[in-house]
Amino acid sequence: MKERIALITGATSGIGKAAAMSLAKQGFVVIIHGRSEEKTQRVGDEIRMATGNNKIDTVVANLFLLGEVRKMAATLKQKYDRLDVLINNAGGVMNKKRETTVEGLETTLAVNLLAPFLLTGLLLDLLKKSPDGRVINVSSNSHKLNAKPNFGDLQLENGYDPLRAYGNAKLFLIWVTQRLAGMLKKYGISNVTVNTLHPGAVATNFGVDSNLGGFLNLASKLARPFFKTTEQGADTLVFLASSNEVKGISGRYFVNRRQATVADKYFTTENENLIWAYCEKQTGISVSDLIVGS
């Protein structure tokens, strides 16, 4: 059997790094993504040393920018003819003040929703060449706690709040994952599955640099000693990437290795279709064309 190839975004720290370490120990070819060339190379070397696995590759891109997502995908497609696992882990809570990227997108939506949507679409042809292709999107329980979407103002130009923006993006990520699972089934693509998960509250640098406001900054700091370790937080990620128990399961949401329920307060087929169309418009791709393409 060929060595399995896994790409993990946001893999230079936190649960992404822990997942990379675990999959490297299992003998995967692991492609580590980061934003900093120096740090990404350093983490790659660290994983090689710790695991004895020399098949650790690195790729650098700023996933806040869709242009860089496209370049990253093109680089990977030149280098690899197959991808077995795509873990869309990169993301984060932004600052109290609303910000946009140079491409004009609200930053939370750009990195937590549009980047994984685009990267998955562009790498679908590589995943389709795997006998067991798996896409794993890191969502959050924030989709239940903080989401309050305004479908006429998806980028929250009015009523912006960092936790609301994050909850919305993670809710939308679940919806597009469910929709993609259905489309793959519709077109007879049974060898590629897509799922989401909530890793739990993990003691990482996630959100540490975000200015959420005085009270939330303090509350987050006080709660950190009670959070999961990075290894514990990465457990479900690794499970979904490597376990035969979930082979063929698609369109589901996992917590602690178990299938869990998704908040349905805002869900309608119309809203899901709206989010899907929005993602296709912003990223400039037609996923159905990519599914049926070569």
* Catalytic residue positions, numbered: 166
Rounded Cα distance, 179 and 97, in Å: 32
CA 64, 66, 69 angle in degrees (round to 5)? 90
Rounded Cα distance, 51 and 19, in Å: 12
Both tokens of 110, joined, read 């750009």
Return the amino acid letter for 80.
Answer: Y
Which residues are within 8 A (CB) of 64 and not within 5 positions of it... i.e. 6 or more apart? 101, 107, 110, 111, 115
Which residues are within 8 A (CB) of 96 and not within 5 positions of it... i.e. 6 or more apart? 162, 211, 212, 213
Rounded Cα distance, 187 and 207, in Å: 39
Both tokens of 192, joined, read 């590629």
Contact 140, 237 (CB under 8 A): no
Element (H, E) at 20: helix 14-25
Residues in the chain: 294
Both tokens of 291, joined, read 């599914």
Tokens 């597009």, located at residue: 176
Rounded Cα distance, 258 and 234, in Å: 14
DSSP letter for each residue of 237-293: HHHHHH-GGGTT--S-EEETTEEEPPP-TT--HHHHHHHHHHHHHHHT--HHHHHH-
